[in-house]
Amino acid sequence: MRSDKAKSGVDRAPHRSLLKASGYTDWEIERPWIGVANAYNGIIPGHVHLRSITDAVKAGIYAAGGLPIEFPVIGVGDGVAMNHFGMKFSLPSRELIMDSIEVMAQAHALDALVLVTNCDKIIPGMAMAAASLNIPSIVISGGPMLAGVYNGQDIDLSTVFESVGKLMAGRLTKKELLEIENVACPTYGSCAGMFTANTMNCMMEALGLALPGNGTIPAVYSERERLAKDAGRKIIELFEKNIRPRDILTKKAFENAIAVDLALGGSTNTALHLPAIAYEAGIELPIELFNTIGEKVPHLCNMSPGGNHHIQDLYRAGGVQAVMSRLAEKKLLHTNLITVTGKTVKQNLLGAKVKDETVIRPLNNPYHAKGGLAVLKGSLAPDGGIVKQSAVAEEMLVHRGPARVFNSEEEAYAAIQKKVIKDGDVVVIRYEGPRGGPGMREMLSPTSALAGMGMDKTVALITDGRFSGATRGSAIGHVSPEAAAGGPIALVKEGDMILVDIPQKRLDLLVDKKELERRRSEWKPDMQQVESPYLNRYRRMVSSGARGAVLENLS
């Protein structure tokens, strides 16, 4: 056991003495040491209940013969951090989470890890730690919240953001907005749509790093605590069999995850997080795979924000395993891969079935013939940009319009509030990339405001920043190279014509090459200045969004 380095032999008497001061007995100390990374905090609704999930995990570990050793992990609540300076810290927190878990696991010679998570960057940060450390690990999420109900319709957090836009447009009263605000998020858990948190929790299941049910069992169901107990028991089996993350996180496992992501119509943030997890596992995962796999994998689930279904509906329809079983019918998955169950994907899928074909459609009757995400390239995005094509209105799949250029989210949002954006415009928000922002902020407030004003079907939005999973409309993010790196997006001027052609996977700036060369000769970066030592260190080390915005290895 790794933990023998900290507990075994005469030389470790002082170490054992300290452990006994913590209340551990000799027979407990002899057990495998299982680190339980608890991302509880009191501000994220997806995390406020993680103490009970962690207690269930610890009970499972203890019952199976291990010693659970709990430690904390930070977490940023993206919804609360949205549309202000705080959002600059969300994506950079991913690497802090990974590093903090490494510190705890290595410093204390832990034998294995259970990673208790639920929202946004905490999930990939924990998965990156598992891939990097490569000691037996399992992910368990806190589960999704239930949808709210307003005027007989299911609603969620994206409804509130879009309602702000409706208020701006005079389509909603302040009284109605307050009513929606009060009912949209009725329980704890990760926000009810197929936003980033729930997408990534489904990805953990699809990768094989979490138990079946991880992505969809609602947070308020007792079944979630039972799953946590099972995760605690299962980690002992993984330890005994020495099944490690890199045994699970193979290139084919990532291809499976992308296939499931495309079938679900998941968040564009997966194009950042899956490559970043792969990077820590020593695997290159080019974003072009989203297009390659998307040509074969149809979009089967019309989840919020693009559709009306929520995670509770997917749960009742059979969950992620039902989606995977449907894809496996046509050999769209690799099924001979090992998972944290100790079994293969094929074995896990025995008995999985679709229980509601209005939620998980048949392969011959998909919502869209191609997957939910698309990578666009062209003269405006030589290294690519990402769009949730399943959430784009039919009439916006191809759009040509004049650029309205802003060098920050605040500038763009102010213009939207003042109603100076017109039908047909292409809003360009730059210097919000990993380096330029720094931190690659999400742009949910501008996109939701446009949607609430009814302009998601007439206006496109392009940024080197990123979008919340709750974003819908013709919103293209992660444009690379970013403006701060001298990408073409830095050269766009007010009124330039831009072509968005999602079916052809194109994003082009319709400006003569000689004119662009002239502009480049005069260009100077206009990066946002921040008074934050951490963000400025991050800015110096972070890579392109097209590479997952990972921190470069400087050794």
Report the SS3 class of residue 94: helix
Taking the CA of residue 129 as centre, how many other CA atoms within 13 Å lie in the half-sphere pointing to its CB? 32
Query: 132, 468, 480, 544: which is the annotated catalytic residue?
Result: 468
- Determine whether 356 is exposed, middle or buried from the number of CB atoms within 10 Å of its CB (0-12, 13-18, 19+): middle
Cβ(452)–Cβ(176) below 8 Å: no
Would you give the DSSP letter of residue 340?
T
> Would you mind telling me the total number of residues written for the chain in this entry?
555
By the 8 A CB rule, do 29 and 201 touch? no
Report how far Cα 494 is from the mean position of its chain's Cα atoms.
Answer: 32
Preceding omega of 438 cis (within 30 degrees of 0): yes
Please give the Cα distance from 169 to 548 (Å, whole number).
Answer: 36
CB 317 within 8 A of CB 384: no
Residue 37 and residue 495: Cα distance in Å, rounded? Answer: 50
Q: Three-state secondary structure along 246-305?
A: HHHCCHHHHHHHHHHHHHHCCCCCHHHHHHHHHHHCCCCCCCCHHHHHHCCCCECCCECC
d(CA 340, CA 357): 28
Q: Quick one: tokens of 462?
A: 């392009």
For residue 468, indicate whether it is catalytic.
yes
Distance between CA atoms of residues 46 and 79, nearest Å: 11
Residue 376: count other Cβ atoms within 10 Å of its Cβ: 24
In degrees and rounded to multiples of 5, residue 76 shows phi and psi of -100, 130
How far from 28 is each of 22, 24, 110, 341, 511, CA to CA, in Å?
A: 12, 6, 14, 25, 69
75 contacts 47 by C-beta, under 8 angstroms = yes
Cα 47 from Cα 426, distance rounded (Å): 37
Q: Are 360 and 323 in contact (CB under 8 A)?
A: yes
Catalytic residues: 468
